[in-house]
């Protein structure tokens, strides 16, 4: 894959100043001539190493760590000393390292963030900055930021309110934008809104890094977000802003408020929907069914679940089914039982999926009554899919589709081994976190991981490459179709409904092209259409290679 490295700064750094700049530092890979001209002799060991030698040492250090949190800390330290080496290591060992730099280990890292903090990364926009956010953003040194991932830390994975400790999420997401889709690190910005916390344990943690106040709600909160969006678009016009891990009372509301005004999306809602839809498309290649004929039962009715339902409905409608009929393909169970019309006090986002049906108290009764072909878990309740439930799904369907998508691993509704063994090896299974292959009845089944990383990096690449004005549901549907089409027959034969992560750069490029095509067709692109769209996007992709720093 072709691409480009980061551009050199306007002023050449020398000596220790150069070695202390993670974006420019090459460590022992500086050549003799570079050491001569840049004042590096005596500051480095005498060996002249290749990047491959450095990668071998870095991987050795990584594997020597005893726990995953220690590995996370090591990778964080590496990114702070040699950014190019960090991204090369992550890119070449993505299957091994992604669970460390992102889910599931990032959840533990966020819980401990104040205790493992080493150096600042990203920006903290505090409620105390209200009225001067544009001034605060001017402290960020990069002039061409294209994508920001923002969180207020209130609903980090399935772990709840972690306040500013949630900064680990935007940082991790943007690492994947770079490693998986070649978006240059200088063009990314992690942001955490510090609006207080409702977590009493953090409030009393002497090493907590956020403001020690109850969470700000209402007008003051909305005004801060509004001010940031305006300031970011003023400083970096057309910036893509990805909302991440906001609580349900804010996630849909903020998405609906901004989606037609700026270039934005919510990955928990739309990214999860897209990767899940891709998984359904792939699974139907195994079961042989059509999406318009499926009965999908969700455990959970929050932003992620409703987002999946909305995208499924839009796809079913393309087959000629009316909207209300398409919605009846999707049924939801929350903590109070089945979402149905007679229930009072339903949240607004649930109302459109509240169908005529007698009340049902729990998931098991819903499975028996609805006889779903697909069971999707987005509840954050580890172990919520019991043996009785999976056995019932297998009794209803020859090949039941079971997607246990909650993160981190401990929150998965069931493990791969449970789904396969409880269904006698007939379940088509995927999860949000990785699980090892399972041998059942002499056959090795490989569970897919329905991770949003298959979608958001490629979508982001496509959006920023052609400077799209907005992000639309049609783009997420196109991304889902593209991802599903990439899954090989060999993978499907193993029960795997997502392609190997080792192909993620090619996957992201394909999704970027599909998304850009939608933008051009919809009149949302703001650059002239290139003759070769794929080559145009690929040429913009960052490749983690050392550049020559002297002529």
Query: Hey, which residues does 194 pair with through a beta bridge?
Result: 126
Structure tokens given for 217: 């709600």
Q: Which residues have a catalytic role annotated?
A: 102, 173
Tell me if the bond preceding 332 is cis, omega within 30° of 0.
Answer: no
Distances (CA, A) of 69 to 161, 358, 387: 20, 47, 32
Phi–psi pair at 148, nearest 5 degrees: -120, 135
Beta strand 448-449 pairing with 428-431: parallel
Tell me the chain's radius of gyration from C-alpha atoms: 24
Exposure on the CB side of residue 48, measured as CA atoms within 13 A: 8
Distance, in Å, from the CA atom of 333 to the CA atom of 298, rounded to the nearest integer, reads 6
- Separation between Cα atoms, residue 285 and residue 484, nearest integer Å: 9
* β-bridge mates for residue 448, sequence order: 430
Q: How many helices (H) and strands (E) does the chain have?
A: 25, 14
The DSSP result for 432-447, as a single string, is SS----EEETTEEE--
The values of phi and psi at residue 518, to 5°, are -60, -40
Contacts (Cβ under 8 Å, ≥6 apart) of 41: 35
User: Could you give the 3-state DSSP secondary structure of residue 240?
Assistant: strand
Structure tokens at 396: 């209803």
Cα dihedral sign for 158, 246, 76, 83? positive
Cis preceding-peptide flag for 408 (omega within 30 of 0): yes
| Other C-beta atoms lying within 10 Å of the C-beta of residue 5 | 14
Contact by Cβ (8 Å): 242, 265: yes
Burial of 94: CB neighbours in 10 Å, binned 0-12, 13-18, 19+: buried
Closest CA to 543 of 1, 70, 144, 68: 1
Cα(547)–Cα(300) distance, integer angstroms = 49
DSSP secondary structure code for residue 551 in this structure: -
């Amino acid at each position: 894959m072709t691409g480009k490295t980061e551009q050199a700064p306007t002023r050449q750094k020398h000596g220790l100043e150069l070695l202390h700049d993670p974006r420019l530092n090459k460590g022992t890979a500086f050549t003799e001539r570079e050491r001569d001209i840049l004042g590096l002799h005596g500051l480095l060991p005498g060996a002249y190493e290749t990047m491959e030698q450095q990668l071998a040492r870095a991987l050795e250090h990584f594997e020597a760590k005893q726990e995953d949190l220690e590995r996370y800390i090591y990778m964080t330290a590496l990114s702070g000393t040699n950014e190019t080496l960090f991204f090369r290591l992550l890119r070449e060992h993505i299957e091994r390292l992604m669970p460390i730099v992102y889910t599931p280990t990032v959840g533990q890292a966020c819980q401990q963030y104040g205790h493992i903090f080493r150096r600042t990364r990203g920006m903290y926009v505090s409620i105390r900055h209200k009225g001067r956010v544009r001034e605060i953003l001017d402290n960020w040194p990069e002039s061409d930021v294209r994508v920001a991932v923002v969180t207020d830390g209130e609903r980090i994975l399935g772990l709840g309110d972690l306040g500013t400790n949630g900064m680990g999420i935007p940082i991790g997401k943007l690492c994947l934008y770079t490693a998986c889709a070649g978006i240059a690190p200088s063009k990314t910005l992690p942001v955490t809104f510090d609006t207080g916390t409702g977590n009493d344990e953090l409030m009393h943690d002497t090493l907590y890094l956020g403001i020690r106040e109850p969470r700000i709600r209402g007008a003051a909160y909305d005004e801060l977000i509004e001010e940031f969006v305006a300031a970011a678009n003023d400083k970096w016009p057309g910036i893509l802003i990805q909302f991440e891990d906001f609580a349900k009372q804010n996630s849909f509301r903020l998405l609906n408020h901004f989606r037609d005004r700026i270039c934005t999306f919510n990955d928990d809602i739309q990214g999860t929907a897209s990767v899940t839809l891709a998984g359904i498309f792939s699974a139907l290649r195994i079961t042989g069914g059509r999406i318009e004929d499926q009965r999908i039962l969700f455990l959970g009715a929050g932003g992620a679940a409703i987002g999946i339902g909305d995208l499924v409905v839009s796809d079913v409608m393309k087959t000629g089914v009316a909207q209300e009929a398409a919605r009846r393909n999707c049924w939801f169970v929350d903590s109070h039982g089945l979402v149905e019309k007679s229930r009072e006090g339903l949240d607004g986002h649930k109302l459109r999926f509240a169908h005529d049906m007698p009340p049902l108290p729990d998931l098991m009764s819903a499975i028996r009554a609805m006889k779903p072909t697909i069971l999707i878990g987005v509840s954050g309740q580890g172990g919520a899919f019991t043996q009785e439930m999976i056995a019932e799904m297998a009794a209803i369907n020859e090949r039941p589709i079971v997607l246990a998508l909650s993160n981190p691993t401990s929150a998965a509704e069931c493990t791969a081994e449970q789904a396969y063994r409880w269904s006698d090896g007939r379940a088509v299974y995927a999860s949000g976190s990785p699980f090892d292959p399972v041998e059942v009845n002499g056959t090795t089944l490989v569970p897919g991981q329905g991770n949003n990383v298959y979608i958001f990096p490629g979508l982001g690449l496509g959006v920023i490459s052609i400077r799209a004005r907005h992000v639309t549901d049609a783009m997420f549907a196109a991304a889902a179709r593209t991802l599903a089409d990439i899954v090989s027959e060999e993978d499907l034969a193993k029960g795997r409904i997502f392609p190997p992560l080792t192909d993620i750069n090619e996957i992201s490029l394909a999704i970027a092209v599909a998304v850009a095509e939608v933008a051009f067709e919809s009149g949302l692109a703001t650059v002239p259409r290139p003759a070769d769209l794929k080559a145009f996007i690929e040429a913009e992709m960052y490749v983690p290679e050392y550049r020559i720093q002297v002529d």
